[in-house]
Amino acid sequence: MLLAVALFAVMDTGLKILSTRYPPLQVSALRGLASLPLVAVWALATVGPRALVRVRWPMHLLRGGLSVGMMGGFIYGLARMPLSTAYAITFAAPLLVTALAGPVLGERVGPRRWTAIVLGLVGVLVVLRPTGTGMLTLAGAAVLGGAVCYAISILTTRAMSHHESSQAMVLWLVAMMSVFAGALALPHWQPMTLADLSPVLAIGIAGALAQVALTEAFRHGEASQIAPLEYSALLWGVLADLLLWRMLPDAITWIGAGIIIASGLYLLRRERVMAVGDAAP
């Protein structure tokens, strides 16, 4: 999980570099196209073509559309805010997953978990404070919208995981992101320079390896134990901001991120306690 988070940080750094030069949808398409060959080789080598074709296509199409909203919003925000700030906002996704699990999946969400969700969303408002560089900007709303799309995608993944292989879900997510984002970006596609091929290559390799590492992490470990390691992304984001862009999060961003992470950790703990309680009888 730690390796997956570090590799995703490398990928996101490349996305931020490209986001200042190309439209968000074009960068989203490049992210998918760069990873697609490696993901396809991994999927075919591990489960074969039959398991990749016999899938529930409507759900995959839904996840493909959500991936465009997720990446488009995230990349739009990356071009206009520090990587660490964007990470702090996206940490709201686990809170949104828990909040939506009740009405969408019929899962029980008790008062303690609702309290943690509300506090976590307060942390998001702290990060997106109503100043000239916060909540009133389109960048903050775009990243938050991307987090909402990501949360809904996680819920669809939960619903599909009983019938679909991890390889099929990863492959078709990347493939549909490439196709959908590419089709939307085509009218405004900008020619690329040779200097930008290096970030694209880094995005493709890091994104593919990160996806494989993430899949293996959840295959062999308990979600409640390894999911908190995702918050290590904030450290990588701060390091990238410092080394490449000479900027650091301010105190308000650190406070908001702390509230969000604390709420997320509490939710994970409650899920584990409830899982143990359900298994005891």
**CA neighbor of 31 nearest in space, from 7, 12, 53:** 12
Contact 184, 69 (CB under 8 A): no
CA distance 186 to 259: 40
Query: What ranges do the domains of the chain cover?
Result: 2-279
The DSSP letter of residue 130 is: S
Q: What spatial distance separates the first Cα and last Cα of the chain, rounded to whole Å?
A: 31
The confidence band for 134, taking pLDDT boundaries of 50, 70 and 90, is very low
pLDDT of residue 216: 82
Q: What's the rounded mean pLDDT across residues 55-59?
A: 91
pLDDT of residue 136: 57
Q: Does the pLDDT of residue 280 top 70, yes or no?
A: no
Q: What's the rounded mean pLDDT across residues 107-132?
A: 82
Contact 269, 116 (CB under 8 A): no
Q: What's the rounded mean pLDDT across residues 221-241?
A: 86
Q: What's the rounded mean pLDDT across residues 34-62?
A: 92
Q: Give the Å distances, CA to CA, from 22 to 25, 27, 101, 110, 203.
A: 8, 7, 36, 44, 15
Length of the chain: 281
Provide the CB-side half-sphere exposure for 109 (13 A, CA): 20
Two structure tokens written together for 230: 């995702």
Weakest mean pLDDT among 93-97, 132-136, 137-141? 132-136
CA distance 278 to 22: 50
CA distance 89 to 142: 10
Two structure tokens written together for 202: 């880094």
**CA neighbor of 4 nearest in space, from 165, 207, 236:** 207
Higher pLDDT, 278 or 167: 167
Q: Say what percent of the chain tops pLDDT 90.
A: 58
